[in-house]
Structure 1
Amino acid sequence: MGTLSQADEAQLKAQLQDAVVGCTERGLYHSAKWAAELLDSLPAPDDHGSDTDVDSPMSDAHPPQTPHLMPKDATEARLEAREAHKFLLAKTYFDCREYDRCAAVFLPGPLPKQAPSTPNPKSKQAGKGKAKMGTPTKASFSHHSISSLSQKSLFLALYAKYMAGEKRMNEDSEMILGPQDGGVTLNKELPGVSAVLEEWFKKLPSSGRQPQGWLEYLYGIVLAKGKNEQLAMDYLVKSVHQYTYNWGAWQELQALLNTMDELNHLVTQLPQNLMTFIFHVTTSQELYAVNDQVHNSLSQILTIFPTSAFLKTQRALLHYHNKDFDDAEQIFSDLLVSDPHRVDHLDNYSNILYVMGMRPKLAFLAQLATATDKFRPETCCVVGNYYSLKSEHEKAVMYFRRALTLDRTFLSAWTLMGHEFVEMKNTHAAIESYRRAVDVNRKDYRAWYGLGQTYEMLEMHSYALFYHQRAAALRPYDPKLCMAVGQCFGKVGKVMNGIRAYKRALVAGSYYDAGVGSSFGSGEVSGLGGGILDPDVLYQIALLYERIHNMNDCAAYMELVLAQEEGPDADEVGAEGVGGVGVTATTSKARLWLARWEYMRGMYQRAMELANELCQDGVEVEDAKALVRDIRARMERPGGEEGY
């Protein structure tokens, strides 16, 4: 994807402007904001070379007319013109968050009650009994009133009903993780909205009207809420084909995808345009698929929108997932300078600062976010991370609860609150927090890993193994997760499976350093690189071989542990070379094991060398001195010379 021609750029501007207007008219404010920010990030025309005043008759700066890019059939145009004054009234109610009042402008009666896309086998009998009592049923609902509405007005009315249900659902919900909080409060308007849309789409082919993509988008949301994910995906694909620049539809599609294979299969069904390109990059980021291809694709999109904060944030998140914290922090820092009032994704920025141990900068970020908007979930997470870094875990939990009170689907808050409960040794609350995080987003490997770690603390290793495997399936090349799987396999007695998992961790290649600022659940480690293997992983492999009495392989891996002290030779890794890990507790344990192994084999000279090295290291000194005494006593006996 190269630079756009002047005609293509003008077309793109017109499409984005149309998207901003169309989304705003329908109350889709986040999608409108996204399109407007993308529109603003297009390169501005170069007017600096002209000295002609803009108001002068000689000026050639004529504002281009924005074409209406969504062709309407005559029926829709006529209906919209007839409903214009009512639509304005309904829209003002919607903007004032009077959702029921907004819906009543076009749909004054109650909606039919029917489960989303699920026929009720008792509907006939129940309908007869309820009709006598005057309760509205599907039969008593007039679909003629819906067919006489434009798609624009019908969308606003049904979306207002949906929002009214969401509002009541939040009002009816109990305190976060309170005694009555079951997490199963439902939007009671979903069945009615689904029934109306199902009937509307059933009659669409015979009506002769052209679909516009907006009602398909709403139906996709309702179906996804009702767990009918495949049908939801079908309608969302129809939506993006009919109206490409509704970012909300792409986000709903993104939430339904769980693997890169599913994404690659779906892309073949999507329109081949710029929005699909952006969707592929952002979904790859959400699925932690960090590779050169994704970075190159993002670079190409940035040539079209060079100042887009959204796209730069995607770059920062790619670095974050790849544990390139310095690069990610620099991008977020630059974004904060260019737009200090932007709160989006500041929770991710605070996670990076937390892991890097940058407490002063995290404190500044917390103050800035609070001054901008203290009642945003992102702000609450930033402040919660700040208190967590200060080890004030109760205050951190309070702010994460506040974030979830504002938005129960805010994933970061559930996961971070789980980490805090683990720090407070409240394992039951931690498990519930992680479960809620998984309910919100099954692709969050941190929540799965947190569940595994918490069950390990409870010594329920079979449960821990299941959750660690789920986490590792989402991040197959994360050595930390492979290591956790190997540890659980060892605890449940599946030794060979554990060895394979640990070897996979070696292939993924990372040396874990707890570092400043890391805590449970941060999941961030730094790698030495340069061909150095993690001595802890090598040592665990050796111990597993010892459990199955494969002493030769055990000894070989213990030798590998010792080899990591010095690191590879300079000619193997380049002219500069790389230092080893030095003497650590793990390498000292391996040296002690090897010394005893050589002693048992009668290789006293080698055992003495290893034991003396242990005495010099200052680790395991007493055991080493006792071994030296035993070796000397054995060597001083007649016939106690070392055998070969």
Structure 2
Amino acid sequence: MVLTKQETVQLRSALQDAVVKCSERCLYQAAKWAAELLNAIPESASGNEGQSNAPGQPTPSLFTRNPDPVEAALEAAEVNKYLLAKSLFDCREYDRCAAVFLPDSLLAGIISTQSDEAVGPSEKETHSFPTMVDQQRKTELPEISQKSLFLALYAKVISGEKRKDEDAEMVMGPHDLGTATNRQLRMVSSYLQQWFAQVTNEDGEAVGSQGWLEYLYGMVLAKEKNETEAMEWLIRSVHLFPMNWGCWQEMTSLITRIEDLNRIAPHLPQNIVSFVFHLHTSLELYQQGPNLANSLDQLLAIFPTSSFLLTCNALLAYHNKDLMAAEQHFSQLLSLHPHRLDSLDHYSNILYVLNLRPKLAFLAHLCASVDKFRPESCVVIGNYYSLCSAHEKAVQYFRRALTLDRSCLSAWTLMGHEYVELKNTHAAIESYRRAVDVNRRDYRAWYGLGQTYEVLEMHTYALWYYKKAAGLRPWDGKMWMAVGSCLQKMGREKDGIKALKRALLADSYYDSTASSFGSGVGSARGIGHMDPEVLLQIANMFHNLGDIEEAKAYMELCVAQEDGGDSGGGFGDSIAIHNDSQGGAVSDDGDEAGGGGNEGTGVTAATSKARMWLAKHAMDVEDYALAHRLAQELCQDGVEVEEAKGLIRSARAHMDESELGRHGG
């Protein structure tokens, strides 16, 4: 994606406008996002030379000019009140801010009116536009500008969130049920219903609306769990003002599956922000692949130093399971923006998995020096203590993160992991459940719930949660391994085999969309490295079902993984794996994926067990030469040496008897 000079100038102007308008409405995170993106446009490509000195073009001022003359007149008339309200908001005096334009007496009247109208209709009609009573009372709404109305109502929402946190008990305390609610939502929702009923024409369009109140109404509906209607209002908002990143983020929070994203995509405006939104939401849904990487490269060509896009690049490598590349991307990002704490909790997770304790210690010290009371800092420090096996201390820091922000997803999930380590299963389940309440897309929380219930030997519950995790990460072999193991423990070997085969496919073709496996015998060429543990587990399940031939085939394939899957002595025809996407098995240079160059796993406990099974099977079918060879290999491996020596003696005895029989005959 290459922008012309004129397009770059327009983009820069739109981002400047977004920064100012979001700041005017105290949407600080959206303003920060737009400002960072604005400054990521290279100066040479910005085309701003001559722009500021263009004849007739005013110098950028503190406030943007409203194109609607009615709104512009209202804003001019109330500028002093607006400055007071914004100052109060900046000082976090939210109720005083709202009272500048909307006194409590007025808001109380709106709530009582709504209560009277709510008697009789079903709950489904609560958010429909009022008709008769509203037509009589709509003149009672004060005549203020949309900017001031947004600021006042938004202050009420933030005030309600602040009180909700204050009313909540200590995180994970005995009375912390997670049931505290924002009591201001009903009032804000009622006011906005009346306002939209007042400005909506016969075609259902809000005449003169500029998109900000639609965003606020969508946000309120989302907090009230009315997600379908919330999405409709948010889509209206981005059509009216597409540069409000906060609105796009609200839409992302409502999307739980890639199908939902594809369904709403045709209804969105087609611009660069919607392009960024599609990339961001896909990453939130743990997507990966060449198309996503290509989209990211196109955006980085326009914003080469964008911290947001560089973070997306690191997360894309993380979702691709390329942890080393992800670590390098985050390290580069940290060197460019050493004071930026956003998404460093993800970086700490990567360092934890890679067991890079010195780097994690440095990151924890850096975060503490920048701002020790940011949720991200607390998560990073908690991860460091967890890596040091100080699990109680880690829980303390994850709790601190949640005290600062109860919607901090990483803290809930990681605290669940710590409680599992501390053998506190009840607290672990509660932590994971709260993580799911915050974000239903968090496969780690679903997987953690499955693990915890499996520890409690409640396999039916564990299976349900594992399936939820696998549905969110269908290409992650670890999820399907958990499903297969759980099914095995429930005595459902046939279903367990299907799940474990899916795990093999997911691990073998991670970059393609894998969906089906064949049964029977076929070529293993092109599969690449497979997990010997999974192959051994499948073989044992076939053995339990009495299918010895299939069990033998998978045992042979398990042993073949020692040298990279090239089975040599007849092990190559032991499994058939299909891929619905035929192109997925071929790499960019035309070679079959995994078709060579595999180093193999070497001797593992799984391959030794498989070799022992094959040796015993060879004894059963009187193939004493093969049994003798396999047992000798076991002695060289140093695993089950005594049992292997016994097999060698037994096989040699049978071979000697056969020799004597032949000579005697």
TM-score range, shorter chain: 0.7 to 0.9
1:115 shift after superposition: 12
Tell me if the contact between 1:288 and 1:475 (Cα under 8 Å) persists in the aligned partners: yes
Are residues 1:619 and 2:644 paired? no
Aligned residue among 95, 98, 103 for 1:103: 98
Distance 1:45 1:561, change over 3 A: closer
The residue identity in structure 1 corresponding to 2:53 is H
Are residues 1:166 and 2:161 paired? yes
Tell me if the contact between 1:116 and 1:191 (Cα under 8 Å) persists in the aligned partners: no
Distance 1:437 1:208, change over 3 A: closer
Are residues 1:193 and 2:191 paired? no
Tell me if the contact between 1:14 and 1:66 (Cα under 8 Å) persists in the aligned partners: no
Distance 1:65 1:303, change over 3 A: farther
Distance 1:323 1:186, change over 3 A: same
- Between the aligned partners of 2:353 and 2:320, the Cα distance in structure 1 is 14
- Between the aligned partners of 2:51 and 2:364, the Cα distance in structure 1 is 48
Distance 1:556 1:101, change over 3 A: same
Partner of 2:522: none
1:507 shift after superposition: 1.0
Partner of 2:577: none
Partner of 2:23: 24
Aligned residue among 390, 395, 401 for 1:392: 390
Alignment of 1:621-636 (within 5 A): 621-635=641-655
The residue identity in structure 1 corresponding to 2:364 is A
Alignment of 1:245-256 (within 5 A): 245-256=243-254
Are residues 1:585 and 2:605 paired? yes
1:259 shift after superposition: 1.3
Distance 1:587 1:640, change over 3 A: farther
1:157 shift after superposition: 0.8
Q: Percent identical across equivalent pairs?
A: 57
- Superposed CA deviations along residues 174-222 of structure 1, whole A, max 9, x for unmatched, are 0111000001100000111101111111121259841110000000011
Tell me if the contact between 2:8 and 2:45 (Cα under 8 Å) persists in the aligned partners: no
- Between the aligned partners of 1:39 and 1:453, the Cα distance in structure 2 is 44
1:616 shift after superposition: 2.1
Partner of 2:411: 413
- Superposed CA deviations along residues 247-298 of structure 1, whole A, max 9, x for unmatched, are 0000000011111111112110001111110101111111111011111111
Partner of 1:39: 38
The residue identity in structure 2 corresponding to 1:585 is A
Tell me if the contact between 1:387 and 1:395 (Cα under 8 Å) persists in the aligned partners: yes
- Between the aligned partners of 2:52 and 2:143, the Cα distance in structure 1 is 43
Aligned residue among 38, 62, 72 for 2:53: 62
- Between the aligned partners of 2:206 and 2:654, the Cα distance in structure 1 is 99
Alignment of 1:324-335 (within 5 A): 324-335=322-333
- Between the aligned partners of 2:309 and 2:58, the Cα distance in structure 1 is 28
The residue identity in structure 2 corresponding to 1:194 is S
Partner of 2:12: 13
1:460 shift after superposition: 1.2
- Superposed CA deviations along residues 473-529 of structure 1, whole A, max 9, x for unmatched, are 1111111111111111111122111111111111112599xxxxxxxxxxxxxxxx9
Distance 1:459 1:8, change over 3 A: same
The residue identity in structure 2 corresponding to 1:103 is A
1:144 shift after superposition: 3.3
Distance 1:456 1:371, change over 3 A: same
- Between the aligned partners of 2:176 and 2:79, the Cα distance in structure 1 is 44
Distance 1:15 1:61, change over 3 A: closer
Distance 1:445 1:598, change over 3 A: same
Distance 1:491 1:29, change over 3 A: same
Are residues 1:539 and 2:530 paired? no
Tell me if the contact between 2:138 and 2:198 (Cα under 8 Å) persists in the aligned partners: no
SS in 1 for 2:141: helix
- Between the aligned partners of 1:573 and 1:199, the Cα distance in structure 2 is 61
Partner of 1:518: none
The residue identity in structure 1 corresponding to 2:154 is Y
1:599 shift after superposition: 1.3
Of stretches 621-630 and 433-442 in structure 1, the one that deviates more from structure 2 is: 621-630
SS in 2 for 1:113: helix
Distance 1:80 1:345, change over 3 A: same
Partner of 1:444: 442
Aligned residue among 200, 216, 221 for 1:205: 200
SS in 2 for 1:619: coil
Alignment of 1:216-231 (within 5 A): 216-231=214-229
The residue identity in structure 2 corresponding to 1:362 is L
Aligned residue among 204, 210, 233 for 1:235: 233
Distance 1:279 1:115, change over 3 A: farther
- Between the aligned partners of 2:601 and 2:90, the Cα distance in structure 1 is 61
Partner of 1:267: 265
- Superposed CA deviations along residues 449-485 of structure 1, whole A, max 9, x for unmatched, are 1111111111111111111111111111111111111
Partner of 1:154: 149
The residue identity in structure 2 corresponding to 1:399 is Y
Distance 1:239 1:641, change over 3 A: farther
SS in 1 for 2:338: coil
Partner of 1:520: none
Distance 1:35 1:392, change over 3 A: same
- Between the aligned partners of 1:241 and 1:40, the Cα distance in structure 2 is 25
Alignment of 1:87-98 (within 5 A): 87-98=82-93
Partner of 1:121: 119
- Between the aligned partners of 1:307 and 1:162, the Cα distance in structure 2 is 34
Distance 1:333 1:116, change over 3 A: farther
Are residues 1:244 and 2:236 paired? no
The residue identity in structure 1 corresponding to 2:635 is C
The residue identity in structure 1 corresponding to 2:438 is V
The residue identity in structure 2 corresponding to 1:358 is L
- Between the aligned partners of 2:336 and 2:603, the Cα distance in structure 1 is 46
Of stretches 216-225 and 600-609 in structure 1, the one that deviates more from structure 2 is: 600-609
Partner of 1:526: none
Are residues 1:567 and 2:570 paired? no
Tell me if the contact between 1:117 and 1:194 (Cα under 8 Å) persists in the aligned partners: no
Are residues 1:80 and 2:101 paired? no
The residue identity in structure 1 corresponding to 2:320 is N
Distance 1:61 1:121, change over 3 A: closer
Partner of 2:482: 484
Are residues 1:462 and 2:471 paired? no
Task: Give structure 2 stretches of 5+ with no counterpart.
Answer: 123-132, 511-525, 569-590
Partner of 1:549: 546
1:639 shift after superposition: 9.6
- Between the aligned partners of 1:635 and 1:479, the Cα distance in structure 2 is 43
Q: How high is the TM-score relative to the length of structure 1?
A: 0.88
SS in 1 for 2:471: helix
The residue identity in structure 2 corresponding to 1:283 is T
Partner of 1:523: none
1:447 shift after superposition: 0.7
The residue identity in structure 2 corresponding to 1:539 is L
The residue identity in structure 2 corresponding to 1:553 is E
Task: Give structure 1 stretches of 5+ with no counterpart.
Answer: 48-53, 125-137, 513-528
Tell me if the contact between 1:510 and 1:534 (Cα under 8 Å) persists in the aligned partners: no
1:376 shift after superposition: 0.3
The residue identity in structure 1 corresponding to 2:559 is L
Of stretches 256-265 and 633-642 in structure 1, the one that deviates more from structure 2 is: 633-642
The residue identity in structure 2 corresponding to 1:216 is E
1:578 shift after superposition: 2.7
Aligned residue among 585, 592, 609 for 2:629: 609
Of stretches 596-605 and 10-19 in structure 1, the one that deviates more from structure 2 is: 596-605
Distance 1:226 1:440, change over 3 A: same
Tell me if the contact between 1:312 and 1:331 (Cα under 8 Å) persists in the aligned partners: yes
